[in-house]
């Protein structure tokens, strides 16, 4: 059981199953530059596109490649679905009790959420809204600030090591979701679930009114 005042969700792999689209885009980008497709597909999830490009292909114009990838991702929404339990869990929360913190761009994130049939959050922190992406804590700290909550009353739901590291650095507790990485990679989480169907919310009248149960 975890008590919280707000829940901050990563998007891809937590709320939205976008794995197929991400793989298609990465393969097209690899072919565009003659890079090994399998190497590009296996690149870490949960980090900003610009950081991945800079690490893999520093000889390229990073911002030009980010624009190309963002445009290609925006067009490829085929097969986008909600992670099991996402609709129910978000429906149990008030608009000021949750936010999305994603490495995706501010145009792409709403498109993926809508394509998966999920509501758009009142508070959305995208990768292009912060100077440093995950594993830096900036995105999660900004989300807490916009919700009017101190970090220590927020619980983060994450599927990737970089996002977990960011949340812990922000002073938040983390529920790991084993959709993208095995449980052994989700280090530092207070609890780990298979998907969002294993998280339920109850309420009481305390300062932290959300009581989260995991199984």
Burial class (CB in 10 A: 0-12, 13-18, 19+), 89: buried
Taking each continuous run of H as one helix and of E as one strand, the counts in the chain are 8, 11
Q: What SS3 state is found at 78?
A: coil
Compute CA distances 67 → 4, 6, 40, 107, whole Å: 37, 33, 17, 12
* CA atoms of 69 and 176, how far apart (whole Å): 27
Query: For residue 59, how many C-alpha atoms fall within 13 Å in the half-sphere facing its CB?
Result: 2
* CA atoms of 101 and 122, how far apart (whole Å): 12
Which residues are known to be catalytic? 10, 12
Please state the length of the chain: 215
* CA atoms of 164 and 167, how far apart (whole Å): 5
């Amino acid at each position: 059981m975890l008590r919280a005042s707000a829940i901050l969700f990563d998007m891809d792999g937590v709320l939205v199953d976008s794995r197929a689209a991400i793989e298609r885009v990465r393969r097209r980008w690899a072919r565009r530059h003659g890079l090994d497709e399998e190497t590009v597909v296996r690149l870490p999830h949960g980090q900003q596109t610009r950081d991945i490009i800079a690490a893999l292909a520093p000889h390229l114009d990073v911002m030009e490649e980010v624009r190309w990838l963002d445009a290609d991702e925006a067009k490829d929404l085929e097969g986008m679905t909600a992670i099991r339990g996402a609709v129910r869990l978000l429906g149990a929360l008030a608009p000021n009790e949750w936010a999305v913190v994603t490495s995706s761009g501010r145009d792409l994130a709403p498109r993926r959420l809508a394509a998966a049939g999920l509501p758009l959050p009142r508070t959305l922190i995208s990768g292009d809204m912060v100077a440093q992406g995950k594993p830096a804590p900036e995105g999660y700290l900004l989300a807490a600030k916009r919700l009017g909550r101190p970090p220590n009353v927020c619980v983060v739901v994450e599927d990737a090591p970089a996002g977990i590291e960011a949340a812990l650095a922000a002073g938040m507790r983390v529920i790991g979701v084993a959709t993208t990485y095995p449980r052994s990679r989700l280090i530092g989480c207070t609890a780990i679930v298979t998907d969002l169907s294993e998280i339920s919310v109850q309420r009481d009248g305390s300062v932290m009114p959300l009581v989260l149960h995991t199984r």
